[in-house]
Structure 1
């Protein structure tokens, strides 16, 4: 779906705009009709028939306006909501297709801002702002036209006052262009900082940096306040200056009309009418200035929406991907999240089909990045990755992920029931399959002990469950998906002893079936029996082999093993003391 189709207006929207135009013209007709009874009253020929006729016309216009307003407002709301709904659904789908590297390079606040604040702003244009502008311009135009007909000098004065809108809006739009974009960017940064603050509120409180003590959030909010002030400070003087000149049309019209009345070239009814018109025209002109400035500012949101719509998506292809085996090979792979900051350099290895390959190394050495590249969350800058001998470079990420189950250290759960969280791995799975996966994942017992069992809500990101419980649910999802390749990213890290034992038992059950398993481990003792161990350091594979082979080399792995044994001895001595 291209940009034009996503942003395309519908018939309801266009109907609402036409009806707003008609309502504005009919509103202007009210003043024109009032002119006739005033004229008749002054000329002393106002009679009951004329009074009833004019009253009937005014009543008819009121009823027609009421009908037009009701239909126009309803159609505008429905039409605008339909358009914004289409945009929201498209953006929701689009964000799922944007490469993950964009979320690393840019702040998530920009995307949050677009799908929430920017879409809301654009909806305001569609449902309110544009219709009000059309109605007020049509009403103003009709009143100026009427003034030009009954007394041209008054019409010219009103027209001149309204034409001052052009330079005023030009100056206002320049300010919107200068400050509006900056304001939007600061707002996006503000959203990112607030999301980070709320996510880490427990840590911030623990270190006494919550509330106003959090300098990042405080500075971000102050920056937004400052840019809002500068924005208003720059635009308000333009509006005030224009308003002064617009209201000057009232004394000018009163003087010009009064002179004509004194000279006998202008009748009393017309004079009274043209003197009243500048009051309405000047007020409407001020409203139009505010609405058009606001419209211009809100259109920044439209450009931000289009920017996301036009973002490059992950590579999609129709190439079939059904490897006969599931060995995973890296061939001289180099990757970096940021330019000139390589994370992996010339990495080559093979994780053999239906065997366990373990990855160990220091924090930040590139272990998790290897799993991310296998999953096609990111694309390497050079080199090739093969599954079953087939390069995944031109294969759609979705097809690659269909062959992979993952158990991460940081488990994400939807704000849904336990059953539906597990079912997300295979939506067609029956209840008995879900429960069997939970038994193998060592979590069926704690689920059934809950009051609502499998229908228990997990809370936002699983906050109603412990870390070990979340981890076991993650393993249950991997078991249910039953993919031929299994990736484990330090699944037992940061768990207490009881939960670690339960998770390890669940992992043993998961490893019971024949799969190609690639496992990151922080404890070397649990991967002694791995078919191959890769030692990563500084973004490179510095050693690889079995446990015994690596110990025999007396290199990096040997040093890590010795350090772990010494730590175990220290812990034993500390406990005994």
Structure 2
């Protein structure tokens, strides 16, 4: 296996399987001891010494079995858990290399399901299924060989019954392939639906949609229940039929061996042991059948993990992106989220170095898409995007983002303290530098008024803070990062007047430094002093110029400005 193979087994896992098999084989030795005892009883050679020796032998077997089982189980659990941890760490690292666009295309539920449910299922293979399967199969082989030793024809019957395992497993695996994959797919959809329901619970309640969306979630869970039922209802008869054939081996073996027993060819003890073995094998086969069925189903989880492992990673040079200037150029850039539905069409413009460029336009015209392409959240379908004269098409997104600070409309905060959330911008900064950035971001005041100050928890995704507070913390991160390029995506949208004024002041402080700034604004009064204004319409740059120049043209911008003035009058 490859050194970086996330499924690579460790020594402890191998030791666990070995001792589990050893424990199973030792359990067969108990039947050998019973065989010796029955022979002594039949031949009337029983003595206290023989009984004591046999008793101590059985106690010895049980003691060694107990030690082997305890040690093997512990090692198997530790080894399997280590592989599971290894897979989760690998996936966590893999997620950092998967193109960001994948996380904007409804893949989150699938990734959550893979990281949690699928990895847990695969861990079950390692910690329980594998060891038990190898142990029970080895024990079955040993018991069949024992019957062959006692009376070969009876052993051949058991071998024939064992060969029926092949069509049984073939049918079972077909069922797993049909319904197991469907169940896992529905499970991933269910996780996505639940994640969406929980994340949107506030909106659902506000608009009285809880029942509607709850019905959607309930429907997908009901579908999961139906698929699971079909899965079990189809698989159980196959296992039951094979189990019935296995139990029929008991009368077959008894009939086969009865005549040789009556003729004295087979001893009474041998006949008794031969008659006992089909019952033991029937129970073993039932366990093996269930484990194999579960093993095959869980291998679906492994394939889903492997699918994530095999997902294409972001391409591009990891060499640092060094440029003397930081102007941004779009040259005939095309982009579409869905093939055949273009969002940008031959977009061509330049954002001047260390100047403020504003982007305005109707909703859905492609404004946010431009920022996403600059940050390399998505790759352009055509054309060239350059920073400082260097095309970024073949530069890793990580290297491009090193040059960019972003303030989004929807701010994401980690479930941590305010201080640590800001520190993510530059992990090695001092507390004093964090506090200085917060003063510039106009958030030092409200932070210090909190009981725990900078050590105040923000809650999950910052839900313990208001929208304006989250926004100003986001601006503090951007100030602290101090990147040469600043992207602002409607940073003052959806805020009340007081918070909007506070955020505007914070942005003004952020713009004091000479940076290449691209700002999307929902109100034109905010951007009228921009060095350049780009008007986006239908995926194209319809107009470009300063506020006065665009008003003089009397085009789309002038119409938008006049409409805004009427609303504010």
TM superposition score normalised by structure 2: 0.98
Q: Which deviates more, 351-360 or 60-69?
A: 60-69
Specify every segment of 5 or more residues in structure 2 that has no aligned partner in the other structure, as ranges.
none
Alpha-carbon contact 1:3-1:309 (below 8 Å) kept: no
Q: Deviations over 1:370-406 (max 9, x none)?
A: 0011111111011111111111111111111111100
Corresponding residue for residue 486 of structure 1: 486
Which whole-Å CA distance do the structure 1 matches of 2:447 and 2:17 have between them? 56
Which whole-Å CA distance do the structure 2 matches of 1:64 and 1:502 have between them? 74
Alpha-carbon contact 2:316-2:393 (below 8 Å) kept: no
Corresponding residue for residue 325 of structure 1: 325
Which whole-Å CA distance do the structure 1 matches of 2:71 and 2:61 have between them? 15
Alpha-carbon contact 1:107-1:189 (below 8 Å) kept: no
Alpha-carbon contact 1:3-1:310 (below 8 Å) kept: no
Alpha-carbon contact 2:319-2:399 (below 8 Å) kept: no
Q: Secondary structure at the match of 2:5?
A: helix
Alpha-carbon contact 1:179-1:227 (below 8 Å) kept: yes
Corresponding residue for residue 379 of structure 2: 379
Does 1:223 pair with 2:235? no
Alpha-carbon contact 2:250-2:278 (below 8 Å) kept: yes
Q: Deviations over 1:411-436 (max 9, x none)?
A: 00001111000000100111000011
Alignment map for 1:257-268 (pairs within 5 Å): 257-268=257-268
Q: Secondary structure at the match of 2:495?
A: coil
Q: Which deviates more, 446-455 or 208-217?
A: 208-217
Corresponding residue for residue 469 of structure 1: 469
Corresponding residue for residue 209 of structure 1: 209
Does 1:444 pair with 2:444? yes
The Cα of 1:115 is off from its aligned counterpart by: 0.9
Q: Which deviates more, 170-179 or 245-254?
A: 245-254
Does 1:335 pair with 2:353? no
Corresponding residue for residue 140 of structure 1: 140
Q: Which runs of 4+ in 1 moved over 4 A?
A: 1-4
The Cα of 1:114 is off from its aligned counterpart by: 1.0
Q: Deviations over 1:212-258 (max 9, x none)?
A: 76332122112111111111121111001011111111222233333
Q: Which deviates more, 263-272 or 86-95?
A: 263-272
Q: Kindly tell me: are residues 211 and 279 of structure 1, through their superposed partners in 2, closer, same or farther at Cα, counting changes over 3 Å?
A: farther
Which whole-Å CA distance do the structure 1 matches of 2:212 and 2:45 have between them? 74
Corresponding residue for residue 93 of structure 2: 93
Does 1:551 pair with 2:556? no
Corresponding residue for residue 58 of structure 1: 58
Q: Secondary structure at the match of 2:312?
A: coil
Q: Kindly tell me: are residues 4 and 213 of structure 1, through their superposed partners in 2, closer, same or farther at Cα, counting changes over 3 Å?
A: closer
Which whole-Å CA distance do the structure 1 matches of 2:158 and 2:568 have between them? 90
Alpha-carbon contact 1:24-1:135 (below 8 Å) kept: yes
Which whole-Å CA distance do the structure 1 matches of 2:141 and 2:250 have between them? 17
Q: Secondary structure at the match of 2:342?
A: strand
Alpha-carbon contact 2:330-2:350 (below 8 Å) kept: yes
Corresponding residue for residue 123 of structure 1: 123
Q: Deviations over 1:183-234 (max 9, x none)?
A: 1111111111111111111222233332576332122112111111111121
The Cα of 1:454 is off from its aligned counterpart by: 0.7
Q: Which deviates more, 257-266 or 358-367?
A: 257-266
Q: Secondary structure at the match of 2:336?
A: strand
Aligned-pair RMSD on alpha carbons?
A: 1.5
Corresponding residue for residue 528 of structure 2: 528
The Cα of 1:558 is off from its aligned counterpart by: 0.5
Q: Which deviates more, 13-22 or 516-525?
A: 13-22
Which whole-Å CA distance do the structure 2 matches of 1:474 and 1:487 have between them? 12
Which whole-Å CA distance do the structure 2 matches of 1:391 and 1:190 have between them? 41
Does 1:200 pair with 2:216? no
Which whole-Å CA distance do the structure 2 matches of 1:201 and 1:154 have between them? 66
TM superposition score normalised by structure 1: 0.96
Which whole-Å CA distance do the structure 1 matches of 2:461 and 2:343 have between them? 29
Alignment map for 1:99-178 (pairs within 5 Å): 99-178=99-178
Q: Kindly tell me: are residues 104 and 473 of structure 1, through their superposed partners in 2, closer, same or farther at Cα, counting changes over 3 Å?
A: closer
Which whole-Å CA distance do the structure 2 matches of 1:89 and 1:284 have between them? 37
The Cα of 1:2 is off from its aligned counterpart by: 5.8
Q: Which deviates more, 246-255 or 282-291?
A: 246-255
Corresponding residue for residue 303 of structure 2: 303
Q: Secondary structure at the match of 1:341?
A: coil
Corresponding residue for residue 567 of structure 2: 567
The Cα of 1:320 is off from its aligned counterpart by: 3.7
Which whole-Å CA distance do the structure 1 matches of 2:232 and 2:266 have between them? 44
